[in-house]
Structure formats: structure tokens, C-alpha cells
């Protein structure tokens, strides 16, 4: 069964500045997430990532299209969906009278879980919040607040976890430990949807990604596939006659073909070095290509 199915999802908002205008935040988005998969939603600001997450958590109602979580229609099964889904919102909460442990206890109560001490202790421990368990939210640093939000999203052991830019503004060390934790959650069987701007991390962590821009999915597949298709690899060759050659080619091109095209035979080569293309480059190309296609269609 799919953890998430998004079918031709559209969301139109009323423009906040001018009520006579509408904003097409999602223009027919389709993709799905397999059970146990880490799926990355990558896109520039305003692409529609947060809107998509808000429709999955039933915070926003889709204008049209279909949205299923573990086979259940999100709009018709809002209650069950809430039990199955955990979400970490992009914005960090700042206020609150209660301390970290109390917040996690209340959150458990909200899901009808009464004795959740073990789970809460596990999360405090795993997210390095134990030393701060007695602190109120306003006494926490930005990174601690972020970790608290992640703990909150996990108190009810959801089957699908949604992380909206979980590492934005978070320092390198915390980022690394968060990704490690996310990989652990995946091992435990959780399905994860994350949005991020950190492409290198997405490349390492995600089984598949979707590149979204202006409410449309421009690409969906494995990071490796998109790199092969859209990025450039650099081949640096040292020849027996002392010359060096630097060749830029598509990441999908085979070395044999490249050498043949440049009329270089193996016997002439002293040393060869290859630098693989990066997701960042592929991402930029996909977004630009999507923009051009979009412009042409209008
Ligand atoms: N509540 C809202 N009312 C009106 N427009 C909105 C609302 N939320 C988001 N938008 C608009 O929808 C588009 C997508 O926004 P968002 O989903 O936040 O993108 P992202 O998370 O990828 O940056 C943007 O143009 C944004 O201004
Ligand atoms: Mg957003």
C-alpha cells in the first residue's frame, strides 16, 4: 500500500492582498510515496510545498484532486488521518506557559494516549532534550524548539511523518544529528515526506524526490536519476604526451563514448579523474526548464 497518493491536486487561494485575485498554489500535482520511503519535496520559495503539507494534515482543503494516506481519503477521514500522520511545521512556536515534558504529555493526551512516559522519555533522549525537559518554550534556543516540535510530531508514533523545512536555520551539527534520526525512523518502518532547501542532504537521504515549482511537479524520481539526466560530469584526463584535457559531459554519458568522441585511446591516458554532477545543478536545470515550458504554455 502507498503511504501517500497525491492525484491531480489543485489548491487555489484568494490573494491575501487583493481579494479579487486568486493564487494557484498547486496546479495539478501528482506523485506518491511508498511505504517506508523517505521522499523529498524540493522547490524554491512559493513553489507550493507548505500548501501541499497543509492539505495532507487537513489544515487546508484541496480545491480539487485526490489525496490518500494509507489508502484513506484525507478529506473524508480527517480523524484517522490525524492519528496516522505527524507533522513538523515550518514555523517554530515561540510562546507557551508549559515546559517541554508537559507539552509532550498534552500532545499525547490530544491523541488519547494516557501513559506515554516511555515514548516521551525515548524522544527526549533521542532528540537531546533531556537536560531541557523542565524548561518552558521561551527558555529554549531555536534548535531546541525545533527538536521539541519534532518530538511533538512523534508522540503518537505516526506511520507517516511530514517535515516542512526541518533544518532551515539549524546549525550543521544539529542538522546532521536530525538526518541521522530521520534515517533511524525510516528503519523503524516510518514513511517520511520532507521539504528542504539543502539539496546535498536530500541527495543522500531521500529514496526519491519531486522537484516542484510554481505549483507544478517538474520531476519525480530518484536523486541519482535526476543527476544522470540533468547534470554535467567533469572528466579530467592526463595524456602520455603531457597534455591534459578537461571534458564536460552529461552525467549519463558513458566514458567509452566520451573517449571515442574526443578520439582518445586508452593507451594515451596516464590518469583520469571524474567529478560526478550534483543535485544542485540538476535541480536548477529542471526548475528553469519547467519555467520555460510554463511560460511557453501561457
Ligand atoms: N493562506 C494563504 N492565502 C493566500 N495565498 C497563500 C496562502 N498560503 C500560501 N499562499 C501562496 O501560495 C503559494 C505557495 O506558497 P507555499 O505553499 O507556502 O510555498 P512554499 O512552502 O513552497 O514556499 C505562494 O504564492 C503563497 O504566497
Ligand atoms: Mg514553505
Sheet holding 244-250, edge to edge: 244-250, 232-239, 269-275
- On whether both 192 and 291 belong to a single domain, the answer is no
Domain boundary among 200, 222, 244: 222
Domain boundary among 188, 222, 256: 222
C-alpha distances in Å from residue 22, one per residue of 19, 52, 55, 257: 7, 17, 18, 50
Distance CA(201)–CA(180), nearest Å, equals 11
- On whether both 252 and 141 belong to a single domain, the answer is no
101 CA → ligand 1 middle, Å: 33
Pocket of ligand 1 contains residue 46 by CB under 6 Å: yes
16 CA → ligand 1 middle, Å: 10
The domain of 170 spans 2-222
73 CA → ligand 2 middle, Å: 23
- Give phi and psi for 8, each to the nearest 5: 45, 45
Rg for the chain, CA atoms, rounded = 23
- On whether both 63 and 164 belong to a single domain, the answer is yes
Distance CA(67)–CA(75), nearest Å, equals 8
- On whether both 68 and 136 belong to a single domain, the answer is yes
Q: Which atom of ligand 1 is nearest to the CA of 26?
A: 14
Domain boundary among 222, 244, 279: 222
- On whether both 263 and 191 belong to a single domain, the answer is no
Q: Which atom of ligand 1 is nearest to the CA of 164?
A: 21
Pocket of ligand 1 contains residue 41 by CB under 6 Å: no
Q: Which of 194, 127, 128, 200 is nearest to 160 (CA)?
A: 194
Pocket of ligand 1 contains residue 226 by CB under 6 Å: no
Q: Kindly report the protein residue whose alpha carbon is nearest to atom 12 of ligand 1.
A: 25
pLDDT at 94: 67
- On whether both 10 and 87 belong to a single domain, the answer is yes
- On whether both 45 and 60 belong to a single domain, the answer is yes
166 CA → ligand 1 middle, Å: 18
Pocket of ligand 1 contains residue 43 by CB under 6 Å: yes
Q: Which atom of ligand 1 is nearest to the CA of 165?
A: 21
pLDDT at 295: 66
Residues having C-beta closer than 5 Å to ion ligand 2: 49-50, 90
The enclosing domain of 146 has a CATH number of: 3.40.50.300
Pocket of ligand 1 contains residue 25 by CB under 6 Å: yes
Q: Number of helices and strands (H, E) in the chain?
A: 10, 13
- On whether both 200 and 257 belong to a single domain, the answer is no
- On whether both 263 and 214 belong to a single domain, the answer is no
Partners of residue 210 on adjacent β-strands? 41, 220
- On whether both 259 and 122 belong to a single domain, the answer is no
pLDDT at 93: 72
Number of domains into which the chain is organized: 2
- On whether both 54 and 36 belong to a single domain, the answer is yes
Q: Are strands 208-213 and 38-42 parallel, antiparallel or unpaired?
A: parallel
Per-block mean pLDDT, blocks of 10 residues, the chain (298 long):
97 93 96 97 93 95 97 94 94 81 95 95 95 94 91 97 88 87 96 88 92 94 90 93 92 89 93 89 87 66
Q: Which atom of ligand 1 is nearest to the CA of 215?
A: 14
- On whether both 136 and 246 belong to a single domain, the answer is no
pTM for the predicted model, two decimal places = 0.89
Distance CA(53)–CA(86), nearest Å, equals 11
| Residue to mutate, 51, 61, 216, 287, ligand 1, most ligand atoms under 8 Å from C-beta | 51
Distance CA(94)–CA(185), nearest Å, equals 26
Amino acid at each position: 500500500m502507498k503511504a501517500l497518493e497525491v492525484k491531480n491536486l489543485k489548491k487555489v487561494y484568494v490573494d491575501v492582498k487583493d481579494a479579487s485575485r486568486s493564487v494557484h498554489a498547486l496546479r495539478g500535482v501528482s506523485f506518491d510515496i511508498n511505504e517506508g520511503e523517505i521522499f523529498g519535496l524540493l522547490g524554491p520559495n512559493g513553489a507550493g510545498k507548505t500548501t501541499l503539507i497543509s492539505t495532507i494534515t487537513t489544515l487546508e482543503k484541496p480545491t480539487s484532486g485526490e489525496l490518500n494516506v494509507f489508502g484513506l481519503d484525507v478529506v473524508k477521514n480527517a480523524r484517522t488521518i490525524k492519528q496516522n500522520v505527524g507533522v513538523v511545521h515550518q514555523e517554530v512556536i515561540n510562546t507557551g506557559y508549559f515546559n517541554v515534558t508537559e507539552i509532550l504529555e498534552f500532545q499525547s493526551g490530544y491523541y488519547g494516549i494516557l501513559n506515554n512516559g516511555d515514548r516521551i522519555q525515548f524522544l527526549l533522549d533521542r532528540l537531546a532534550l533531556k537536560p531541557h525537559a523542565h524548561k518552558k518554550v521561551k527558555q529554549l534556543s531555536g534548535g531546541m524548539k525545533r527538536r521539541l516540535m519534532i518530538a511533538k510530531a512523534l508522540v503518537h508514533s505516526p506511520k507517516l511523518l511530514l517535515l516542512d523545512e526541518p533544518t532551515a536555520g539549524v546549525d550543521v551539527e544539529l542538522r546532521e544529528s536530525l538526518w541521522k534520526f530521520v534515517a533511524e525512523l525510516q528503519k523503524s518502518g516510518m514513511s517520511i515526506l520532507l521539504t528542504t532547501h539543502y539539496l546535498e542532504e536530500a541527495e543522500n537521504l531521500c529514496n526519491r524526490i519531486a522537484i516542484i515549482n510554481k505549483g507544478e511537479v517538474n520531476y519525480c524520481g530518484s536523486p541519482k536519476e535526476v543527476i544522470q539526466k540533468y547534470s554535467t560530469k567533469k572528466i579530467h584526463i592526463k595524456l602520455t604526451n603531457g597534455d591534459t584535457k578537461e571534458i564536460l559531459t552529461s552525467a549519463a554519458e558513458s566514458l567509452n563514448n566520451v573517449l571515442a568522441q574526443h578520439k582518445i585511446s586508452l593507451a594515451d591516458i596516464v590518469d583520469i579523474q571524474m567529478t560526478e554532477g550534483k543535485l544542485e545543478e540538476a535541480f536548477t536545470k529542471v526548475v528553469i526548464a519547467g519555467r520555460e515550458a510554463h511560460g511557453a504554455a501561457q
